């Protein structure tokens, strides 16, 4: 049985069912349609001390809640929470690291292989009856064999991807990160351009935010070369999507696979039209198992904060 805490928690917009159930049993849950300060009533303003959400928490919403103590973000990435403003107001922000690492790394490998071996196209071909009519499936142009891999964002997920790639027999792995990761033998490149010039396959796990905005641009894609493959499992905002669509159309690179987009759930038409493009609707962590674990960690942060005065997984400073 869960303890009951007499605290109002605001849940703006759509949210995970498992998390909603737990918040309902533990707290007084207050729902509003979306994270919009104009929807904050007097009662919400007076009583709400915590937020649980998929993100989208800006300074105006934070300032509409004078008694707010904690924002529990569902997801490891918290670029859509104004964490700096929260910190200035002394408000705790938590995220859900670790519990999704292996799932997202699995999805990254799936997307990489789908992109390179065109497996979704092969399935469509089977279902269309082409196998019966035409015989063998036309060979895929690309292979994973012999690829040199660059990982943009060597955190927990980047490392889990690198370990999987080693198990696939790919030993040429390098990375770019804000800073070198201690104790890691992979080649470190202090610039993304340096990394892109040294590899033919770039996997982005980089977080969103101002410092990575459109970091993967035309110049970076060109540096990958005509055999180049770009995979994004991090945040769509890190890519110049128009430049990516053009790079595929012009065969500047060979293929790309995206799980994330700059303006989700909208996928720009040039990306939908681009040749050799594999697209997924942000499903990196989207198994019932992992989303429940994320929901539990999100709510456990609220429970720990309001019962013991400490958060379990505060976002880094
Ligand atoms: C995350 O955890 O940041 C994923 O993108 C899921 O939202």
| Residue-wise pLDDT tens digits, 282-296 | 999 999 999 999 999
Can you give the pLDDT at residue 175? 98
Can you give the pLDDT at residue 109? 98
pLDDT tens digits for range 47-93: 999 999 999 999 999 999 999 999 999 999 999 999 999 999 999 99
75 lines ligand 1 (CB under 6 A): yes
101-279: which CATH number, 3.40.50.300, 1.10.10.10, 3.40.50.720, 1.20.58.1880? Answer: 3.40.50.720
236 lines ligand 1 (CB under 6 A): no
Q: Is 269 helix (H, G, I), strand (E, B) or coil?
A: helix
Q: Are strands 8-12 and 28-32 parallel, antiparallel or unpaired?
A: parallel
Two tokens at 21?
């159930």
Check 163, 264, 289, 310 and give the catalytic one. 264
pLDDT category, 171, cuts 50, 70, 90? very high
Helix segments in the chain, DSSP class H: 17-26, 42-47, 59-63, 83-88, 101-117, 119-127, 130-134, 156-167, 192-198, 218-224, 241-249, 269-273, 288-308
104 lines ligand 1 (CB under 6 A): no
Distance 285 CA to ligand 1 centre (A): 7
Can you give the pLDDT at residue 7? 98
Nearest-CA residue for ligand 1 atom 4 is: 75
Residues 74 and 52: beta-carbon distance below 8 Å: yes
Other CB atoms within 10 Å distance of the CB of residue 92 = 20
pLDDT tens digits for range 174-205: 999 999 999 999 999 999 999 999 999 999 99
Whether CATH 3.40.50.720 fits 8-99+288-308: yes
Two tokens at 265?
């759930």
Can you give the pLDDT at residue 2? 75
pLDDT tens digits for range 122-160: 999 999 999 999 999 999 999 999 999 999 999 999 999
100 lines ligand 1 (CB under 6 A): yes
Identify whether 103 is a catalytic site residue.
Answer: no
Identify whether 164 is a catalytic site residue.
Answer: no
Distance 77 CA to ligand 1 centre (A): 5
Check 117, 235, 241, 291 and give the catalytic one. 235
Asked if the model's pLDDT at residue 9 lies above 70, the reply is yes
Out of 14, 56, 77, give the residue to mutate to test ligand 1, the one with the largest number of ligand atoms within 8 Å of its CB: 77
Q: Please tell me the distance from the alpha carbon of residue 308 to that of residue 313, in angstroms, as a whole number.
A: 14
Identify whether 235 is a catalytic site residue.
Answer: yes
Average pLDDT in the chain: 97
CATH 3.40.50.720 residue ranges for the chain: 8-99+288-308, 101-279
pLDDT category, 317, cuts 50, 70, 90? confident
pLDDT tens digits for range 14-23: 999 999 999 9
Can you give the pLDDT at residue 1? 62
Atom of ligand 1 nearest to the CA of 96: 2
Q: Percent of the chain scored above 90 by pLDDT?
A: 99
Segment 229-248 shows an average pLDDT of 98
Atom of ligand 1 nearest to the CA of 294: 2
Nearest-CA residue for ligand 1 atom 6 is: 75
Other CB atoms within 10 Å distance of the CB of residue 81 = 27
Measured in residues, the chain has a length of 317
55 lines ligand 1 (CB under 6 A): no
pLDDT tens digits for range 14-60: 999 999 999 999 999 999 999 999 999 999 999 999 999 999 999 99
Can you give the pLDDT at residue 64? 98
pLDDT category, 3, cuts 50, 70, 90? confident
């Amino acid at each position: 049985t869960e303890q009951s805490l007499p605290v109002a928690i605001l849940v703006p917009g759509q949210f995970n069912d498992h998390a909603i159930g737990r918040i309902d049993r533990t707290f007084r849950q207050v729902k509003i349609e979306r994270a919009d300060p104009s929807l904050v009533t007097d009662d919400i303003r007076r009583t709400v001390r915590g937020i649980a959400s998929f993100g989208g928490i800006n300074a105006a919403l934070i300032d509409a809640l004078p008694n707010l103590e904690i924002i529990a973000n569902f997801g490891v990435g918290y670029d859509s929470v104004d964490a700096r403003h929260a910190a200035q107001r002394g408000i705790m922000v938590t995220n859900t690291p670790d519990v999704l690492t292996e799932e997202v790394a699995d999805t990254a490998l799936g997307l990489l292989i789908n992109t390179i071996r065109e497996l979704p196209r092969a399935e469509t071909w089977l279902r269309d009856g082409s196998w019966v009519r035409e015989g063998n499936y036309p060979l895929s142009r690309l292979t994973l064999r012999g690829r040199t891999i660059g990982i943009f964002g060597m955190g927990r997920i980047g490392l889990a991807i690198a370990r999987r790639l080693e198990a696939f027999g790919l030993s040429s792995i390098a990375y770019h990160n804000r800073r070198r990761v201690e104790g890691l033998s992979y080649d470190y490149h202090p610039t993304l351009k340096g990394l892109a010039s040294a590899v033919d396959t770039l996997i982005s796990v980089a977080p969103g935010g101002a410092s990575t905005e459109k970091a993967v641009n035309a110049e970076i894609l060109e540096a990958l070369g005509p055999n180049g493959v770009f995979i994004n499992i991090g945040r769509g905002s890190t890519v110049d999507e128009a430049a990516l669509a053009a790079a595929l159309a012009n065969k500047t690179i060979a293929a790309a696979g995206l799980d994330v987009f700059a303006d989700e759930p909208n996928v720009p038409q040039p990306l939908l039209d681009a040749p050799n493009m594999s697209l997924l609707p942000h499903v990196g962590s989207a198994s019932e198992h992992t989303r429940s674990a994320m929901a539990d960690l999100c709510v456990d942060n609220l429970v720990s904060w309001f019962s013991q005065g400490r958060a379990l997984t505060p976002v880094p400073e």
